[in-house]
Chains A and B, each alone.
Chain A
Amino acid sequence: MNADDWLRTLTAELHQRRVAADAARHVVAEAATHLREGGGDPWVVFGPPLQYAGAVVESIGTAPGPRPGPVRLHAAGITKRYGRRTVLRDATLTVRAGQIAAVVGANGCGKSTFLRICAGLMSPDAGEVTVSGRLGYCPQSGGTADFLLADEHFVLVGAGQGVARGPARRAGRAAARQLGWEAGGDVQARHLSGGTRQKLNLTMSTLSAPDVLLLDEPYQGFDQGTYVNFWDQLSRLRDAGTAIVVVTHLLNQLDRVDIVLDLTPAHETGWHAPGIQGGRP
């Protein structure tokens, strides 16, 4: 990572951590000047950008985030059994406009099942889900057509909302650019790398401007830069009032979310995430 990359990562991280825009600009400009005049590797001078951003936040604080809006997703008492095995028991989650919720838990604890139930792709054995507004869903894998180009995926999703081809293509390319991907090539989806394909997957889910966005570990195959862009984009969507639910197993991201739903059975771990909302009793 060169100095420019380091500064870019720092900028994204400060934005992500809701440092006031003016203050963030000032910090980045100061770091850039220091590097230009003094030289040296930013990793040696300042340390890792995420760590440096953390120090900045501790020192100058953050700007208050927008107040959460009305409830967009309310899942209550969700129970799901596969045969005799109960995968979800009475899981409850409420997410408001402008909030990010993380669904965490051990492998096989029902994170994806919970999300599919919230998306209405699977029926629970008990419980109900109320969604206000439009729903977007990004599956863990699949969900794209092997022999179609990225632009054709955008046209296909756009037509569902009655969006004309040109605007759908432009909107898709713009959303892909937010993830650092120039989508307008003539490469079929099957020839995209795993990470790029996942960017296409994610772009498709945000294309219909959903009020509630459900993401099932959407960052698989992402490199570090894309991963930063991903969280940056989630912050932007949150600030624009989208209610977001992310299934994740990466606990180091939990400080970036507003709500955590831990679906790990209580007898398996004594750990409880901050802001825990529901899950198994």
Chain B
Amino acid sequence: MNRLVTVAEMTLRELLRRRGVLLLLLLMPLTFYLIRRDAYLGQSVRSLLLGVGWAVSTAALFATTAARELEPRLRLAGYRPHHLYLGRMLGLWTVGLVISVPFFLLPMIDGADLRYGGLAAALLCSVAVAAPFGMLIGALLPRELEGTLLLLTVVTVQMLIEPAGSGARLTPFWSSREIATWTVDNTDQGYLSRGLLHGLVVTALLALGVAAVASVRLRRRRHLRHLPVG
């Protein structure tokens, strides 16, 4: 447990020291919200949620790429793969939750009339999905540029795809969009349940994907035999 917490703490410390990144993390969802503010409120809130998701995914991608050289030596220092990826995920979820707070308050200050419980649930889903999503891309694509471009593609698809179509459900942030509809348009409970279920399943699948890649990359190699000191 101590190892897990230490990795989470160091991830948090690293991110908090990247002031420029933090600023951009806050700026991105704010811009997304403001750019749609004059239009329909639903679009504005959905953009805000997508902005939070994208910001946290990007932070996760960069944190994963930055740790690539360090992790093998931490493995040798006594960490198991799950200490490393779960610790990092915990740290990223914490950062995500912290940056979500002002964006929960923003529509409130703006005087938006919506279901704030729904907004909180949608933000939670965005953050929950975004951390393992960015980590998985970072684990699969070793270079930041490729990872960022892939992330950009996914988010663009997410923005442009017809939300009612079946393909939309395959996009990672569909859950928060669905919950946002319940939040803003006062639709039936089905939107909320579907959204929460989707968020849960996608988070679990992405976390499993991260676990699989990390376990392969940081595995004990067969050619190496460890003997106790005799």
Q: Cβ of A159 and Cβ of B2 under 8 Å apart?
A: yes
| A169 to B92 alpha-carbon distance, docked (Å) | 25
Q: Cβ of A148 and Cβ of B224 under 8 Å apart?
A: no
Q: Cβ of B229 and Cβ of A211 under 8 Å apart?
A: yes
Q: Cβ of A156 and Cβ of B7 under 8 Å apart?
A: yes
Partner pick for A148 among B10, B72, B77, B225, CB 8 A cutoff: B10
Smallest beta-carbon distance A214→chain B, Å = 9
Partner pick for B229 among A132, A145, A160, CB 8 A cutoff: A132
Decide: A122 near B221, CB < 8 A? Known: A135-B76, A160-B74: yes
Q: Cβ of A157 and Cβ of B74 under 8 Å apart?
A: yes
B230 part of interface (Cβ distance < 8 Å) = yes
Partner pick for B225 among A128, A133, A155, A208, CB 8 A cutoff: A128
Nearest chain A residue, comparing its CB with the CB of B10: A156
Decide: A160 near B3, CB < 8 A? Known: A146-B66, A147-B14: yes
Decide: A152 near B76, CB < 8 A? Known: A120-B220, A129-B223, A129-B225: no
Q: Which residues of B contact A155 (CB under 8 A)?
A: 6, 10
Q: Cβ of B73 and Cβ of A132 under 8 Å apart?
A: no
Chain B 58-78: CB-based contact to A (< 8 A → 1; otherwise 0):
000000001101101110111
Partner pick for A204 among B13, B73, B224, CB 8 A cutoff: B73
Partner pick for A130 among B10, B77, B225, B229, CB 8 A cutoff: B225
A14 part of interface (Cβ distance < 8 Å) = no
A1 part of interface (Cβ distance < 8 Å) = no
Partner pick for B78 among A122, A160, A204, CB 8 A cutoff: A160
Chain A 129-162: CB-based contact to B (< 8 A → 1; otherwise 0):
1111111110100111111100010011101111
| A128 to B10 alpha-carbon distance, docked (Å) | 35
Central interface residue in A123, A136, A157, A159, by most chain B CB within 10 Å: A159
Q: Which residues of A contact B78 (CB under 8 A)?
A: 160-162, 208
Within 54-99 of B, Cβ neighbours of A (below 8 Å) are at: 66-67, 69-70, 72-74, 76-79
Q: Cβ of B224 and Cβ of A132 under 8 Å apart?
A: no
Q: Cβ of A117 and Cβ of B223 under 8 Å apart?
A: yes
Q: Cβ of A188 and Cβ of B69 under 8 Å apart?
A: no
Q: Which residues of A contact B14 (CB under 8 A)?
A: 145-148
Q: What is the interface of chain B, defined by CB distance below 8 A to chain A?
A: 2-3, 6-7, 10, 13-14, 17-18, 66-67, 69-70, 72-74, 76-79, 220-230
Q: What is the interface of chain A, defined by CB distance below 8 A to chain B?
A: 70, 117, 119-124, 127-137, 139, 142-148, 152, 155-157, 159-162, 188, 204-205, 207-208, 211
Can you report 5 residue pairs joining A to B where beta carbons are below 8 Å apart?
A131-B225, A131-B227, A132-B230, A152-B10, A211-B229
Beyond A137-B76, A143-B73, 8 additional contacts (C-beta under 8 Å) are: A121-B221, A122-B221, A131-B227, A133-B228, A145-B14, A145-B70, A156-B74, A160-B3
